[in-house]
Amino acid sequence: MNKKKIINDPVYGFITVPTDLVFDLIEHPYFQRLRYIKQLGMTHLVYPGALHTRFHHALGAMYLMRLAIETLCDKGLNITSEEQEAVQIAILLHDIGHGPFSHALERHIVQGISHEDISALLMDKLNHYFGGRLTMAIEIFKDEYPKRYLHQLVSSQLDMDRLDYLNRDSFYTGVSEGIISSERIIKMLNVVDDNVVVEEKGIYSVEKFLVARRLMYWQVYLHKTVTSGEQLLGKILQRARMLSLQGQKLFATPALNHFLSQNISREQFISEDHHIEKFTCLDDTDIMAAVKVWTGSEDKVLSILCNNFVQRRLYHVDITNERPNDILMDELCRRAMKKYNVNAEEAEYFVFKDVISNNAYKVNDAKIGILMKDRTITDITIASDNSSLEALAKTVEKYILCYTKDLD
């Protein structure tokens, strides 16, 4: 069988599957599951085109990784063919542990374990399945391989993951502010003292990358309506799980029911193999099918929330720099109790507050180094003459107040 396939990607054009092992990994059910998990969760409620999947993104990141490796080899780095395959596998599988609507799922269903942890677990299982041929890729993914710059290409503040998702998410949402010169940035990459750096002539492209990342967070990822949709789905899963743990029988696929009906600790998830196997059966379909059926639930709160979700009657969201007014929250809670005939605890599904944050660049977190003409390495915020980059290095926290619109 010819495994050197070509995939037509709308962002980059043709992507070539580099090796037989990579082809076999793409064909594996663990990876094929990513076809059915949207990259941007609830963002399509605001930007209707944002229906691309984590499958798309993983292939795109692998394509950019191949460009990065070719660039570094052209600049004299000795990266063996085994290392080239391994680092492409590491980026291909970096998101394999994502669940459907990942952030809502992590907070309300699979608690205490991150998608990065699950990715590592699945990579270990795949390594066993493929007879140890993923060992080097796993070492790179976990930053245990001697050439640490390979890990930085997979996970850092200027990695192939971020370079792909900014352009890809911009493409599908139509938000042009996220478009970056990813290929130019890659051409400017180099390695000094085992660290990935950007040559000085690429400084403006990196500036654009950081500004684009900040704008995409406020305009797309943390857009108030996207936030509203994610919060509503989170409350639905929170309510369904509470009811299931109390013994109520709710419609759910076997995989979803597995996580709704029991408390699973991080230690159990890691040590008991059947939990990860159930997780690999979860995708967006499980969640959406359950939400549609729950619109007719006997539980009033769950039914209202699910009907609101299906009919896109999302929360009103106030995003402010100050904590929400307690007097206003109390008044909204009283209105919710009266309108929906619920108690104070149940009213918190209709009126609540939370915090969101945006941090485009972390100065102390594997900084982006600029290789100056005198061969010194300088942090991007110092090397740049753009004073706004210093502001990007600060975490911006905002408070949100969510409540159903019919309480206004």
Which amino acid is residue 247, in one-letter code?
G
Beta-strand pair 396-404/315-320: antiparallel
Instruction: Please give the average per-residue pLDDT across 49-73, as a whole number.
Output: 98
- Per DSSP, the residues of 358-380 read E-S--TTSS--EEE-TTS-EEEH
**What does the DSSP 8-state code read for residue 53?**
B
Beta-strand pair 315-320/195-199: unpaired
CATH number at residue 392: 1.10.3210.10
∠ CA 112-44-177 to the nearest 5 degrees?
95
∠ CA 119-170-394 to the nearest 5 degrees?
75
Separation CA 407–CA 329 (nearest Å): 11
Q: How far is CA 304 from CA 84, 138, 233, in A?
A: 52, 45, 12
- 155 within 8 A of 61, measured Cβ to Cβ: no
The DSSP bridge partners found for residue 377 are: 371
23 lies in some domain:
yes
What is the predicted pLDDT for the residue at 106? 78
- Would you say residue 57 has pLDDT above 70? yes
- Would you say residue 159 has pLDDT above 80? yes
Torsion of CA 154, 156, 162, 163, to 10 degrees: -80
- 403 within 8 A of 305, measured Cβ to Cβ: no
219 lies in some domain:
yes
Binning pLDDT at 50, 70 and 90, where does residue 365 land?
low
114 lies in some domain:
yes
- What are the pLDDT digits (tens) for 164-199? 999 999 999 999 999 999 999 999 999 999 999 999
Q: How many domains does the chain have?
A: 1
- Would you say residue 360 has pLDDT above 80? no
Binning pLDDT at 50, 70 and 90, where does residue 392 land?
confident
348 lies in some domain:
no
Its domain, for residue 165, covers 6-223+369-397
- Would you say residue 312 has pLDDT above 80? yes
* Helix-strand-coil split of the chain, %, nearest 5: 55, 10, 30
Separation CA 94–CA 138 (nearest Å): 10
175 lies in some domain:
yes
Q: How far is CA 129 from CA 24, 85, 86, 312, in A?
A: 11, 18, 16, 43
- What are the pLDDT digits (tens) for 143-152? 999 999 999 9
Instruction: Please give the average per-residue pLDDT across 21-26, as a whole number.
Output: 97
Take residue 405 and report the two structure tokens written for it: 């619109």
Take residue 360 and report the two structure tokens written for it: 């485009």
Q: pTM for the complete prediction?
A: 0.94
Separation CA 63–CA 91 (nearest Å): 10
Cβ within 8 Å of residue 321, ≥6 positions away: 398, 399
304 lies in some domain:
no
Instruction: Find the helix or strand (DSSP H, E) in which 315 lies.
Output: strand 315-320
Instruction: Please give the average per-residue pLDDT across 48-53, as a whole number.
Output: 97
- What are the pLDDT digits (tens) for 229-275? 999 999 999 999 999 999 999 999 999 999 999 999 889 999 999 99
249 lies in some domain:
no
What is the predicted pLDDT for the residue at 152? 97
What is the predicted pLDDT for the residue at 109? 77
What is the predicted pLDDT for the residue at 1? 73
Q: How far is CA 203 from CA 27, 334, 373, in A?
A: 39, 54, 12
315 lies in some domain:
no
